Structure 1
Amino acid sequence: MSSDPLFIVVAVAVLVVLGILLLGIGSFGRGGEANAKTSNKYMRWRIYAQAVAIALILVFVFFRRTGG
């Protein structure tokens, strides 16, 4: 399974979401108004990246079920 290119793309997408989440939490933890704005921007990026990751996971599951 780990040699499947679509699985690797899904894994990378999930790791990107995790990285953005950690950036947002770290920025929020520093405090201050500027960091709050940056944290909010990171969390918006996380939502977009998470939507892409979920779509890729659904595509992966679809192709695994149909045998493709």
Structure 2
Amino acid sequence: MITKPENIIEGIQRQCDRVREILPLYDEIPTGVFAATMMRNSIKAAEAAIASGDVLAMIAAYKDLEGYEA
């Protein structure tokens, strides 16, 4: 199956959605509050990078979001 390549904005949006899906897992555990806060800050930074049109900030935001896992 051939998939269409995505642009940086689509990639960031996909990563934001993925991180939003795993956020409740971190909210459920007492020691997950710090990680959940970091995830929310990363999502806000990613959205700000998109809004500003700063490509370097978008790349950094993508890599930051990519690092979160369930």
TM-score (norm 2): 0.48
The structure that has the greater radius of gyration is 1
* Bigger helix share: 1
Higher relative contact order (CA 8 A, sep 6+): 2
TM-score (norm 1): 0.49
